Amino acid sequence: MKLALIGYGKMGKEIEQIAISRGHEIVSRIDVDNQEDFKSDAFKSADVAIEFTAPHVAYANYLKAFEAGVSIVSGTTGWLDKINEIKAICHDKQLAFFWASNFSLGVNIFAAVNSYLAKIMNQYSEYNVSMTEVHHTQKLDAPSGTAITLAEGIIKELARINKWELETASTKDSLAIHAIREGNVPGIHTIRYESEVDSIEITHDAKSRKGFALGAVLAAEFTYGKQGFLGMNDLLQF
């Protein structure tokens, strides 16, 4: 499969290594200094583009890739206010757009466990729930997209929680998400249920970017030849 990389930082280079090891060809590498390559024949030849950049440029990157007729796999977060527009453009151009807040298999297993635990805890109102996420200092958005996805899983299953808020819960029906930025932490997410007598805690701790990169390449393999808006539930089918 021919792949294009949009964003050629640490994550892009990790994806490149895994893609090549799986027999794929990287036909284009786009970063901040060669944006004109979106119009190149090399980029247009890609079967799928994998995009990991930043919230303020992601939407524009999607539009450029769609204009070139290339389907997209993206792990950039912090732009979801435009998600309905992307779905509409994807449909109109008959291309595929695969988005996930986190491509790690472990995180997606963790998300399933998180939802199941919330469903159980719905019966026990004496437990208060909170979340903490820790990432490297270069991560610009807070809370993380993964934290938001986990919060949505809790909100869906836990009747007493109707919203999430950053740092402080202003009402009883709110889930507080504490966001910490330090060092080179790839990503730690912890859900904590606490009562007067005990606490229950589940944590996912990423050891490196390799899990995210492999998941992105697997998503690209899955996306190839498809149309529409896709996600990790389509790939993993939990």
Closest by alpha carbon to 23, among 217, 233, 227, 225?
A: 217
Joined tokens for residue 191: 């859900």
Does the annotation mark 56 as catalytic? Answer: no
Neighbours of 120 (CB within 10 A): 12
Give the span between the Cα atoms of 117 and 154, in whole angstroms: 9
Measured in degrees and rounded to the nearest 5, phi and psi for residue 170 equal: -85, -20
Q: Exactly one of 139, 163, 204, 226 is catalytic; which is it?
A: 139
Does the annotation mark 82 as catalytic? Answer: no
N- to C-terminal Cα separation, the chain: 26
Q: Exactly one of 10, 24, 82, 135 is catalytic; which is it?
A: 135
- Helix H or strand E segment including 89: helix 83-92
Measured in degrees and rounded to the nearest 5, phi and psi for residue 181 equal: -120, 115
Give the span between the Cα atoms of 3 and 50, in whole angstroms: 7
Give the contacts of 36 (CB within 8 A, at least 6 positions apart).
none
Query: Where in the sequence numbering do the catalytic residues fall?
Result: 135, 139
